[in-house]
Structure 1
Amino acid sequence: MKLKHSQLFLASLYEPKKLAAYRIMPIGKVIQYAFLLITAMTVFSLGKFFNNEASQIFAYKEIEEFASDLKWLVYAISIVFLFVMNTLILFAKISVYAYVGQLFLKPMKRRGEYRQVWRTATFAITWEVILSIILSLFAISSTISILLFIIVTMSILFMALKSYPKMPQA
């Protein structure tokens, strides 16, 4: 059965137990899903940049004429930079969550490998991406939002890890 990205998205939001089943999904589909999240983050960041930040970059009268000719270059560089940075940050977060999640497997007496936990963490980070987009619209302390992201993502990951197969008893 082929799963659509929309099905993966909805399961990531509402069904943590299904995330455990996705641990055996081909890595290509998981990477595609991660890049869809990265694209959503980048599009939102670019929207904010084009609406608010770009006008501040070209606010100086002395360079306004010169900058108006190069505005397309700033936008092109911004798109590439934001996409690359969002990619690096999201993959680093997924890897850290997967490492921490793997540390929970043994005390929970569950079987799993890092690569499987990494796949599960990729889907568990969905709420974090959505919340980061929503919370960026409000003036909320970055410390509070980071703690919220960690708690939400680790809670979902923990619920998914509880559905991993149990270790065989010796």
Structure 2
Amino acid sequence: MMELVPELMKNLKQTNGGHIFYPYGNVESYLSNAISFIVTAVKNGDHVMFVENDRNLLHINKMLKKQLSHDELAKVHIMNNFDFYYSNGNFHPHTVLNYFLTNIAPYHEAGASICTWGLIEWGNDQEIHNEIAEYKSKLNQYILHNGVISVCAYDARRTPESLKKLLMECHGVLLTDKEFRFLE
């Protein structure tokens, strides 16, 4: 499984980036894939904006310290996912997209390549589904225009089928715990 993410990233680097939907089913696989994503990106010379919950960050940080040097760790920019997606108190696609762009702008302006990973967690509120789809659609345009590799991860058990369907429509790649496939 450790070769899954590096292989996907290699393919996407050759095609100028990609927007990845990752509905994970197993937390251990998820953590392994997240660590593999960060390590692969940093070893390729990329910066990583990593948006994750505090619970998972404890384990991920511990593993990263074993695999990356101090200078390499400086290329990993970690943000709490609740703070990121709800920076203004609630989820609004335009606000979240602007927050995302503001956070990666310094790296792009410096000519650095950046990869992103975001764990999205919220309830089953049907009203938010369309807002999520709107945000993902706008983000997808940015990613494809700028050659970014971006993973959007969701707990498959907590993601309603209707939302999964919307997300499949606005991502170019489906990643699972064990495989990936291109959707376009």
TM over 0.5: no
Q: Normalization by structure 2: what TM-score?
A: 0.30
> Going by fraction, where is strand more abundant, 1 or 2?
2
Asked which structure has the greater CA Rg, the reply is 1
Q: Normalization by structure 1: what TM-score?
A: 0.32
